[in-house]
Structure 1
């Protein structure tokens, strides 16, 4: 196996295990990079330079889609984003690689974020109590869903929460960022208290696994396990659209802005680096208003 293929496999593994990317996302990234390698015929990441990227962009523009039409710029960007992400991984691990920002993307109008309607939201929140699972699991999942809809946390932030984060507010600490203090709804606090009262372990993690047969320790839920949990509940209540933690985050942002919340306050709550990201949800609110 060539050096670059080994690096790609390690990166894909890290995406799923550490960053909680879904299996479909990882498969797509793998497909995009396989195409890049097949086209470029390179064996080492050091061979990737700006001239190669420019030729790759031209090649992508010449490729047909299933309708035998040129690939949309958005589809070409998927290939380029996968390559940028891989280069960023290499540099983060102190391996020589082209700066990812030198892989230029095509300018496309971003799609509006996918959000849940009121009836879908209500159904998803009620789903944990319709599965016949053990009471501890029902309480954990109900508390998790209520907290997610109350705060709009990223799935990685949710998985990393400790019991100590709970107080008059919820303290969310992201890497290299100032902790955010988020208000809890009465409903989310009620279910969190019921869930924690049911636990008999001393793990500091807020949301833990209950499959003791597989592990003697009390492990925290991972981002991937939370993604699976949400997908499962969406299926249980018959939601046909694909529901992810990001869908819930989108919905929280939309509901806040639609109710008249200040743009800056919503940006702070969601932990957005730029108000431009937050404004997209204002567009959704206006479109649905």
Structure 2
């Protein structure tokens, strides 16, 4: 069983090219399944039955695992057995009838448009730090990128003329447009602020801290929380909230879910369904068009 899991992990890394974190997640989930099976006296993949897998899932439920966690385990198990079937290790898939529990998708915490504007208005742009902070905040809201992508941006990733940036993370990249407000903030920072952080040294990264070192996610979080406090916003502000707010505000403005998916870098459009309720006009159009509306 351990050998098959190692082969599967190698397949994920070398063929599917999935991220290190994803590989570790699969490996951990399958390791827990293996430990359970061995406790039941089962040491070979061809001895694992649908009944044993259901027993494993039931055991997770009894030990208080959340529906989201159980769903993740089941996804890992299914992917593993699909691999074994494809490699002709097994003739039947014992995980075929496993069903993940329903996971309630909660609408993430978002800021109102006014709250967002209040935060974005806080940086004082008569100094390099204010110019940098303004550019980072405007760009984060304009694009919905992850903070890890923001702090790893290089100067050459920004196309001010056409209003595009290139985000790179875990071997993947995507192009995201940004508007005039973010573009002006970036131009001001690059013209009048960035050199002060570079300390006369060549540096590829776009955003640096006051010591001339790369800006960290934690460092940016402190910057964000400081401006939120100045704006008088009594919410637990996180960089992720900016990302969700960007998506929700775009949906409210009429953007389609597929566009939001591409901008935010989700692999599946289903991940954007939580923003559907912000889209305008759905109820109105339904009432007009449906005979039972």
State the TM bucket, normalised to the shorter chain.
Answer: 0.5 to 0.7
Runs of 5+ consecutive residues of structure 1 not aligned to the other structure = 1-18, 20-32, 64-70, 86-100, 213-217
- 1:236 equivalenced with 2:230 (yes/no): yes
- Look up the SS of the partner of 2:115 in the other structure: helix
1:202-253 deviations in Å (ceiling 9; x for gaps): 321111011x2xxxxx222122322332233223323222221221111111
- C-alpha distance in 2, partners of 1:287/1:110? 22
- Look up the SS of the partner of 2:122 in the other structure: helix
Match of 1:119 among 114, 117, 129: 114
- C-alpha distance in 2, partners of 1:144/1:226? 9
How much has 1:142 moved relative to structure 2? Answer: 0.9
The structure showing larger relative contact order (alpha-carbon pairs under 8 Å, at least 6 residues apart) is 1
- C-alpha distance in 2, partners of 1:142/1:53? 52
The equivalent residue for 1:77 is 68
How much has 1:76 moved relative to structure 2? Answer: 5.1
The equivalent residue for 2:172 is 177
The answer (yes or no) to whether the contact 2:174–2:265 under 8 Å persists in 1 is no
Runs of 5+ consecutive residues of structure 2 not aligned to the other structure = 1-19, 21-28, 77-94, 284-293
- C-alpha distance in 2, partners of 1:106/1:157? 32
The equivalent residue for 1:268 is 262
1:145-182 deviations in Å (ceiling 9; x for gaps): 011111111111111100111113333233343431x2
Over 3 Å counting, the alpha-carbon distance change for 1:284 and 1:257 in structure 2 is closer
- 1:142 equivalenced with 2:134 (yes/no): yes
The equivalent residue for 1:162 is 154
Over 3 Å counting, the alpha-carbon distance change for 1:81 and 1:138 in structure 2 is farther
The equivalent residue for 1:6 is none
Look at both structures and tell me which one has the larger radius of gyration over its CA atoms: 2
Q: Which runs of 4+ in 1 moved over 6 A?
A: 49-56, 101-104
- Look up the SS of the partner of 1:127 in the other structure: coil
Over 3 Å counting, the alpha-carbon distance change for 1:263 and 1:60 in structure 2 is closer
The equivalent residue for 1:109 is 104
Scaled by the length of structure 2, the TM-score of the pair is 0.60
Bigger CA drift: 253-262 or 53-62?
A: 53-62
Scaled by the length of structure 1, the TM-score of the pair is 0.61
- Look up the SS of the partner of 1:195 in the other structure: helix
